[in-house]
Structure formats: structure tokens, C-alpha cells
Amino acid sequence: MSEPLSPSSPPPVAEDDEESRFAGLEDWIATIVGLALIAIAVAGLIPKGLVP
């Protein structure tokens, strides 16, 4: 069994490219995006009815 992995198989630990760098930072980016959205909504900057 030496068939290479398909492009979408998920071993993102080994690729030194932009995609894997994003994967490494994914936790922080998700946290920042989530908290930023909360801050914007709490400040009342998202018009009511804009988010379906």
C-alpha cells in the first residue's frame, strides 16, 4: 500500500505552506473572529434583521 494520500486527506501537520500555517493559527483566528463579532454586536453595530 504505497498509494499517496488524496489531496483532501487530512494530515495537515506536515505541509509547510500557507494552508498549514492557517491551520496552526486556526484556534486563535476563530477566537479573535468570534470575540470581534461579539464586540460588534454588543456595540449595536449589526442592524437588526441583517443576520437571517
Partner 1 sequence: MSAITTTAGDSTPAAEPPAATPARRTNWIGVIVGLIVVVALAALTRYLDKNVPAWTADTAFGKIAKSIEYPVYAIAIGLIGNVILSALRVRDLLAPAFRTEFFIKTGLVLLGISVNLSVIWKAAGPAIIQALILITSVFFFAWWLGGKLGLDEKLRALLGTAVSICGVSAAIAAAGAVKARREQLAYAASLVIVFALPSIFLLPWLADLLNLRDVVAGAWIGGNIDTTAAVAAAGAIVGEDALQIATIVKTTQNALIGVVAVALTAYFAFRVAAKPAGATATASTVEGASAAAQASKPGLIELWRRFPKFVLGFVAASAIGTWYATSGWEGASANISTLNNLRTLFLILAFVSIGLEFRVKALRQAGWRPIVVFGAATIANIVLALILASILFRTVTT
Name the residue type at position 51. Answer: V
- The binding site for partner 1 (CB under 8 A) comprises 1-20, 23-24, 26-35, 37-38, 41-42, 44, 46, 48, 50-52
CB of 18 to partner 1, least distance (A): 4
At residue 30, what are phi and psi to the nearest 5 degrees?
-60, -40
CB of 25 to partner 1, least distance (A): 9
SS3 call for 15: coil
Q: Would you give the DSSP letter of residue 10?
A: -
CB of 40 to partner 1, least distance (A): 10
